[in-house]
Homo-oligomer: A and B are copies of this chain.
Amino acid sequence: MEDFSKLCLHTFTNKPWNLSQCIDNYSKAGIKGISIWRNVLEGLDLKIVKKQLAEADLSIVSLVRGGFFPSVNASERALAIEDNMKLIEEAAVLGAPLIVLVCGSDGRQSLETSREQIQEGIEKLLPLAIENGVKLAIEPLHPMYAGDKSAVNTLAQANDMVEAINSPYVGVAIDVYHVWWDPNLEVEIRRCGQNNSLFAFHICDWNVPTLDFLTDRGLMGDGCIPIKKIRSWVEEAGFSGFNEVEIFSDKYWAMDQNEYLDKIKLAYLKHS
């Protein structure tokens, strides 16, 4: 009954922990998947990390996060490409099959221009991604991030870009937090299914009210997102991968992280 075989945690969900603590505690808790944020890898030997993951019987689901392609400055755009290339190489060493892209946006230029630069950036990365067997997932971000974090704000836009690029190495990551409000969500999830492009599924909840733009996400069940319904659409579209818990929350980061892990497991069973 208590099936955690598809449960994955993002290391940032347990921000107070370093990577070893995440690996140890997830493993003890019977969790099978981990999505690793770049910050916890700093200064570590990635080959040793790969070994630790194998010993802990943890699948690395994705490396988070690449992207941030747009800028009014060509030199900044070039730097972003370099940085993403480094990330692809890191993913390859770790054995991570996927990089999640937070595509970026530059408020000093139009959203259309930012979107062109995003597509251009992904196309520049594609040969290296294919060479390394690392897939790239475009994550549409909530419209409240359109000014600075992503000019791709609906699943329709992400699907359009995936179809334009047209490579089996480029798909989408759906995070319920970003898309739950969208009246076209069900239709666009079906479209992902038809494209075989649904690479990742992230869960959390939307607090009512929400107090902060970044660090007030809810645990499943805390808020108003119909997570089970969205998960059913995702699974009907053929997705059978991990359910990745990605929660940025000052409130939960202040808790004992092992107690929090127990709460996450319960919430996962009950509300997702």
In the bound complex, CA of A52 to CA of B195 (Å):
63
Name the B residues within 8 Å of A180 (CB-CB): 146
A107 at interface, CB cutoff 8 A: yes
Name the interface size band of chain A.
20 to 34
Query: Please, could you name 12 A-B residue pairs with CB atoms under 8 Å apart, sorted by A?
Result: A107-B224, A142-B143, A143-B144, A146-B181, A147-B207, A147-B208, A147-B209, A147-B210, A148-B209, A153-B181, A153-B183, A210-B213
Copies in the complex: 2
Given known contacts A108-B224, A183-B154, is B147 in contact with A206 (CB within 8 Å)? yes
A226 at interface, CB cutoff 8 A: yes
Q: Mark A155-178, 1 if CB is under 8 A from B, else 0.
A: 011000000000000000000000
* Nearest B residue (CB) for A157: B183
**Residues of chain A in range 207-240 having any CB-CB distance to chain B below 8 Å:** 207-211, 213, 223-224, 226
In the bound complex, CA of A108 to CA of B224 (Å):
6
User: What 6 A-B pairs come out closest when comparing CB atoms?
Assistant: A107-B224, A146-B181, A107-B208, A147-B208, A143-B181, A144-B144
A111 at interface, CB cutoff 8 A: yes
Q: State whether A147 touches B224 (Cβ < 8 A).
A: yes
A182 at interface, CB cutoff 8 A: yes
Which A residues are closer than 8 A to B by beta carbons? 107-108, 110-111, 142-144, 146-148, 153-154, 156-157, 180-183, 206-211, 213, 223-224, 226
Given known contacts A107-B223, A157-B183, A226-B110, is B144 in contact with A208 (CB within 8 Å)? no
Name the B residues within 8 Å of A211 (CB-CB): 213
* Nearest chain B CB to A259 CB, angstrom units: 26
In the bound complex, CA of A208 to CA of B144 (Å):
10
Name the B residues within 8 Å of A147 (CB-CB): 206-210, 223-224
In the bound complex, CA of A211 to CA of B215 (Å):
12
* Nearest B residue (CB) for A147: B208
In the bound complex, CA of A154 to CA of B179 (Å):
13
In the bound complex, CA of A38 to CA of B110 (Å):
36
Name the B residues within 8 Å of A208 (CB-CB): 107, 147-148
In the bound complex, CA of A94 to CA of B81 (Å):
59
Name the B residues within 8 Å of A110 (CB-CB): 226
* Nearest B residue (CB) for A151: B181
In the bound complex, CA of A110 to CA of B213 (Å):
23
In the bound complex, CA of A157 to CA of B224 (Å):
20
Beyond A144-B210, A147-B207, 8 additional contacts (C-beta under 8 Å) are A107-B208, A108-B224, A111-B183, A142-B144, A146-B180, A147-B210, A154-B183, A156-B183
In the bound complex, CA of A144 to CA of B182 (Å):
11
